[in-house]
């Protein structure tokens, strides 16, 4: 009895496994390359390295004996501060650091005052007084966290205040020891905060204000493509309509599914970056939130046009051809207006007045919908939804114009003057210096 081994089969298995290994290795290398080339992924990598560097610096408080003798075991508060407050955006790091410092100072100071007042009350009186004070301050501070303004901007600081007050007020240490403990812990927090701010603001900083402008502008561009694709899908033949519908529906859903809380967080973080814009602390960031809400409403309206494409009752080809040219002109103009508005926000420059153009195309749509040749219900429904979209885009254009007025966006003449000053007064290469130093344009104009 003999055993036969299929050599060809074994070799095929080895060749297949080798090729799979090569493909997996190639895929892994390509993913690493994409990670390094793509701007977003490279920013995440840089942020990770910055956090690691900050942790090394504060760990020196433990590692180096001279520093450990000065700080002692309170060095862990510096390490904890770095890990807690170091965020991706510079504004987030600055806000959390300042709120943590303010909360620690207020909570520690109030806790020391409570211990000082309770010293002469005896053991029972001390327990009752401290317990009552902890209950009242904890309840009131927690209730304040439900107030919308405090919850959005100062929630982290209030939480640190409650934590620090309870730790100090409920401790069994005497006054001199408590004061020394609060001083050392506050010093460690300040050390951690200083390291975070230094690294976050000076080494490849990521600005929340830039991210907010980019996301807002990209939404305008995305919805501009959605409007154009929607109208093109409506007047395309049946075999092409499905593919167009999938494209613009997915684009609208991507805008709708973006978390509004993320936009709100960016607005809150951008408030702490006044030097990134020309108007300082008076920047009307709430206007950006209003524009984000209007964009969300516009995306919902565009998505509602999907019903016209999927409705079982469709107009005849002749009826579609009767309104095809004016509707395509409307779609092209709406797309142009949306892109101009997005560029206006991204570049912080006023655009040409778009409201009269929108009112003009709205009037054309109204005349087209009331025409005697338009008797089809499906066509009337489509035109009505299109007019609603024009109305919403008009509201958006007005809000962007208001934002430009309040925020001090450059007019087209001012932008031309700045470019002329850069070209005539400064040699080539200074424009890069202006970008690196973030020199405001109004300073260049007065140079």
What's the rounded Cα separation, in Å, for the pair 336 and 332? 6
pLDDT of amino acid 144: 92
pLDDT of amino acid 425: 45
Please report, for residues 214, 250, 254, 400, the alpha-carbon distance to residue 296 in angstroms, rounded to integers and kept in the order given.
Answer: 16, 14, 10, 15
**CATH 1.20.58.220 for domain 208-405:** yes
Which of 239, 370, 365, 247 is closest to 306 using CA atoms?
Answer: 247
Mean pLDDT, residues 389-407 taken together? 87
Q: Is the pLDDT reported for residue 402 higher than 80?
A: yes
What are the pLDDT digits (tens) for 111-147? 888 888 887 777 788 888 888 999 999 999 999 999 9
What's the rounded Cα separation, in Å, for the pair 172 and 118? 12
What's the rounded Cα separation, in Å, for the pair 136 and 132? 6
DSSP 404: H
What are the pLDDT digits (tens) for 307-339? 777 777 777 778 778 888 888 888 888 988 999
Half-sphere exposure of 41 (CA within 13 A, CB side): 8
- Domain ranges in the chain are 41-202, 208-405, 410-447
The DSSP-derived string for 413-438 is HHHHHHHHHHHHHS-TTHHHHHHHHT
Which of 408, 136, 446 is closest to 278 using CA atoms?
Answer: 408
Q: Is the pLDDT reported for residue 432 higher than 70?
A: no
Please report, for residues 99, 138, 371, the alpha-carbon distance to residue 142 in angstroms, rounded to integers and kept in the order given.
Answer: 16, 6, 62
Task: State the greatest distance between any 2 C-alpha atoms of the chain, in Å, as a whole number.
Answer: 102
Q: Say if CB 155 and CB 145 are below 8 A apart.
A: yes
Query: Pick the residue with more confidence: 56 or 181?
Result: 56
Structure tokens at 268: 């809150």
Q: Can you give the pTM of this predicted structure?
A: 0.71
Mean pLDDT, residues 233-249 taken together? 63
Please report, for residues 53, 76, 87, the alpha-carbon distance to residue 49 in angstroms, rounded to integers and kept in the order given.
Answer: 6, 20, 12
Express as a percent the part of the chain with pLDDT over 90: 6
Please report, for residues 73, 161, 193, 256, 282, the alpha-carbon distance to residue 80 in angstroms, rounded to integers and kept in the order given.
Answer: 12, 16, 10, 37, 33
Structure tokens at 81: 């501060």
pLDDT of amino acid 258: 66
């Amino acid at each position: 009895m003999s055993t036969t081994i299929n050599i060809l089969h074994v070799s095929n298995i080895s060749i297949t496994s080798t090729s799979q290994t090569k493909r997996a290795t190639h895929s892994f290398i390509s993913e690493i390359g994409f990670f390094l080339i793509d701007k977003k992924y490279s920013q995440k990598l840089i942020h990770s390295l910055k956090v690691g560097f900050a942790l090394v610096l504060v760990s020196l408080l433990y590692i180096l004996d001279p520093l450990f003798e000065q700080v002692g075991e309170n060095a862990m508060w510096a390490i904890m501060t770095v890990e807690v407050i170091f965020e991706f955006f510079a504004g987030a790091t600055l806000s959390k650091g300042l709120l943590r410092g303010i909360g620690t100072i207020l909570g520690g100071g109030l806790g020391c005052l409570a211990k000082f007042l309770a010293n002469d009350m005896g053991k029972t009186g001390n327990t009752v007084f401290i317990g009552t004070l902890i209950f009242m301050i904890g309840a009131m501070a927690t209730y304040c966290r439900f107030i919308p303004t405090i919850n959005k901007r100062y929630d982290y600081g209030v939480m640190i205040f409650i934590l620090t007050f309870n730790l100090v007020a409920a401790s069994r240490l005497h006054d001199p020891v408590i004061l020394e403990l609060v001083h050392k812990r506050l010093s460690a927090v300040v050390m951690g905060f200083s390291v975070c701010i230094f690294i976050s603001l000076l080494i490849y900083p990521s600005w929340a204000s830039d991210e907010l402008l980019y996301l807002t502008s990209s939404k305008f561009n995305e919805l501009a493509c959605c409007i154009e694709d929607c109208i093109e899908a409506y007047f395309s033949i049946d075999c092409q309509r499905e593919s167009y519908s999938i494209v613009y529906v997915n684009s609208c859903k991507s805008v709708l599914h973006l978390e509004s809380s993320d936009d709100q967080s960016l607005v809150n973080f951008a408030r702490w970056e006044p030097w990134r814009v020309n108007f300082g602390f008076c920047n009307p960031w709430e206007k950006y939130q209003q524009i984000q809400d209007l964009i969300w409403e516009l995306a919902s309206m565009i998505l509602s046009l999907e019903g016209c494409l999927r409705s079982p009752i469709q107009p005849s080809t002749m009826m579609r051809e009767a309104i095809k040219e004016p509707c395509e002109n409307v779609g092209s103009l709406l797309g142009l207006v949306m892109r101009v508005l997005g560029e206006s926000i991204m570049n912080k420059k006023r655009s040409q007045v778009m409201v009269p153009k929108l009112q003009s195309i709205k009037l054309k749509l109204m005349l087209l919908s009331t025409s005697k040749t338009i008797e089809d219900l499906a066509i009337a429904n489509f035109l009505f939804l299109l007019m609603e979209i024009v109305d919403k885009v008009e509201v958006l254009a007005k809000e962007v114009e208001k934002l430009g007025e309040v925020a001090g966006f450059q007019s087209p003449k001012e932008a031309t003057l700045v470019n002329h000053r850069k070209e005539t007064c400064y040699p080539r290469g200074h424009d890069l210096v202006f970008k690196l130093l973030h020199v405001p344009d109004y300073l260049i104009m007065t140079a």
